[in-house]
Structure 1
């Protein structure tokens, strides 16, 4: 027995681990501690806790250090005012004036961040729609020449599957591009593009592997410490090779397939050809739109100004609250800081909806869903009309009649028209009965 395959698998697994990927474990029924800080959030999970008690998805972990700092600041102001002659309290008029400005700044920050988040979701919805349409177009409307020869028919079938797999490759490649992961050896991408001549595939893969983070750096990222956050484009900046644009290159291969089927007259209907190239254009629009969302953040001047405004407001709070709250100034300032800085932190987190934060879009789940849909569609040959229209249990006039297609085929055209009118009358009566909640007499079922 050959031992070559196991050695290849071991080498590939080691490569995947070098990129930070590991074998997928069975999903537990409960969240592990590390899952509270890792994302994106699994939409299939359900928590029965009230929202105000949930930690997973909350910005509270990243608010701990700012809250400790604000608490210490408020404590210092309160102690100085309480036990020295220096009364640091000021009039609360400033609180009112600055509060209006802070409210406008946070409203602008939240609305622009969510707009980008929503745009990202729309582009991925468009990707799912277009990919499903393209897969169905190829699977149903590209001819398989089984009638000419068995070998030719099998070749056409395998070509169709290869082209449909490129739709999965486009989605996965786009996901990695949006996350600044330029390598070609990722476990979900490598099997889909290994046979393609992509620029990223010819680059030095060792230089594109992520280095293992130290525990201190990981903890700093979880806590939102800016000095611990790495440049997300670090791997791309350090690369000495041209990494290309994998999603765009995949579309080029898909275009070559469509050219092939048209040259071989496997897709002869003009509207189908137009539809195919419109779908390719739509996928290119998705790529460009996602890059626009990713590479056009809120202008840095706005980001700096809003951050300065919110922090200035929070730092001035103890001076304005002391005359009214005394010792309660400390928890009151921390509560106000959590609200104000928390809203600002949420805006910062969802500004880039394609990352790995808990509240980012679950791109991995979208890619798996698309792959599953395509697998279901290709699990059976493209349906022919005789496979389902002429079936005995095709009740063409349901719910008026339980008679199948063959039974109505033997009726006259006048009888079919009369039955259709009766069906329409029954449907209208059913609607009125539902609205009035009045029981309707059971319709008379037509049978053969």
Structure 2
């Protein structure tokens, strides 16, 4: 990215040159800001950050509205993106250069995101506790498993196993966050300082290279070509002399042998046999085709007759089913009628049975009263 900015962005005046140096300073600040951010050292007032971003108005010391930057690398990348867009608008870079620089800036942001993911994804606390407990239980039970076979050798074996397993567990916890200040962490300070020096070395070079002083490396090629041509001519002469010396020596070239006569008669006989076989095969194929056609015609006729019988059977079955449905409907109707008649008979029988159970005296007295009433009515009617 620093190489793209220093060489690719053209400075048309002194102000553009200052802006270019400011962008290079932002690259250095981005590197150190990433280091401090990964160590949870928030803010921008550090000796290796603030001198490189103090030229920005929003980060100036006398700015009363100085923002509280919690993600300074992202803010610096935002400033770099703005600088690239401004350079494109002012014609300092073309579209292809803008694409390359934007890709480099995106790569820087992706690297920062990867670092942040590593820092913010530690081993789960429950996993660490469970791992320690499991190791302790295993190491405490290990001597009881080895003492029967190893006797006194159980002690060094157990110590070696404990040293190995507990060491691996400690190393896993130690490298969980490699961006700190411990001895086992990554040397981020040295890496940042090395990159800082590389950026400064780029800035010490002129932003416009003078290729006129390179010279022309192809000037000496003419003599080389002449030497190659001379060697080629010598080689051709040697090969020509060797060929000429071999042409007059039949033992070296090998005696000329006449080729054997071509067996035309044998090939003619074989050709005639193949023709006969071909004719016989053609006849067999025709017979096979005719036989196959007869078989297929019989098969088609048989299939048609079977389909016709199938349709007739299906129609007959449908008619039979319809008749069965009609008979079933009639039977259900008759059954319903008989059931109703049977129910009425049962009711009559029940009423008759209930009448038999009534007190006969009451019936007789009732009938006597009715007869008396009828007599009186008859007398009255007779008088009338």
TM-score by length of 1: 0.45
Whether 1:175 aligns to 2:42 is: no
The offset of 1:288, in angstroms, is 1.3
| Mapped contact 2:39–2:180 kept (Cα < 8 A) | yes
Instruction: Give the whole-Å Cα distance in 2 for the aligned partners of 1:421 and 1:382.
Output: 42
The offset of 1:299, in angstroms, is 3.9
Match of 2:22? 162
Q: In the TM superposition, what whole-angstrom CA distance separates every residue of 1:27-75 from its partner, at most 9, and x where no partner exists? A: xxxxxxxxxxxxxxxxxxxxxxxxxxxxxxxxxxxxxxxxxxxxxxxxx
Counterparts in 2 of 1:356 and 1:248: CA distance versus 1, 3 Å: same
Alignment of 1:5-154 (within 5 A): 134-145=1-12, 152=13, 154=14
| Mapped contact 1:199–1:244 kept (Cα < 8 A) | no
The offset of 1:374, in angstroms, is 1.1
Counterparts in 2 of 1:199 and 1:312: CA distance versus 1, 3 Å: farther
Q: 2:201 aligns with which of 376, 394, 412?
A: 376
SS at match of 2:190: helix
Instruction: Give the whole-Å Cα distance in 1 for the aligned partners of 2:87 and 2:128.
Output: 51
Higher relative CO (Cα under 8 Å, sequence separation at least 6) belongs to 1
Match of 1:289? 114
Counterparts in 2 of 1:141 and 1:312: CA distance versus 1, 3 Å: same
Match of 2:85? 259
SS at match of 1:342: helix
Alignment of 1:223-302 (within 5 A): 243-267=69-93, 269-302=94-127
Match of 2:134? 309
SS at match of 2:167: helix
Q: 2:53 aligns with which of 181, 184, 193?
A: 193
Aligned length, in residue pairs: 228
- Give the greater-gyration-radius structure (CA): 2
- Please tell me the root mean square deviation across aligned C-alpha atoms, in Å: 3.4
The offset of 1:363, in angstroms, is 1.0
Q: Which has the higher helix share?
A: 2
Q: In the TM superposition, what whole-angstrom CA distance separates every residue of 1:237-267 from its partner, at most 9, and x where no partner exists? A: xxxx954210000011111211221121111
The offset of 1:168, in angstroms, is 0.9
Instruction: Give the whole-Å Cα distance in 2 for the aligned partners of 1:199 and 1:329.
Output: 68
Q: 1:334 aligns with which of 148, 156, 159?
A: 159
Q: In the TM superposition, what whole-angstrom CA distance separates every residue of 1:78-135 from its partner, at most 9, and x where no partner exists? A: xxxxxxxxxxxxxxxxxxxxxxxxxxxxxxxxxxxxxxxxxxxxxxxxxxxxxxxx11
The offset of 1:322, in angstroms, is 4.3
Instruction: Give the whole-Å Cα distance in 1 for the aligned partners of 2:130 and 2:60.
Output: 40
SS at match of 1:181: coil
SS at match of 2:40: coil
| Mapped contact 1:182–1:200 kept (Cα < 8 A) | no
The offset of 1:341, in angstroms, is 0.2
The offset of 1:416, in angstroms, is 8.3
TM-score by length of 2: 0.52
Structure 1, unpaired ranges of 5+: 1-133, 146-151, 206-240, 398-406, 426-448
SS at match of 1:173: helix
The offset of 1:292, in angstroms, is 1.3
The offset of 1:200, in angstroms, is 12
| Mapped contact 1:184–1:200 kept (Cα < 8 A) | no
Match of 2:320? none
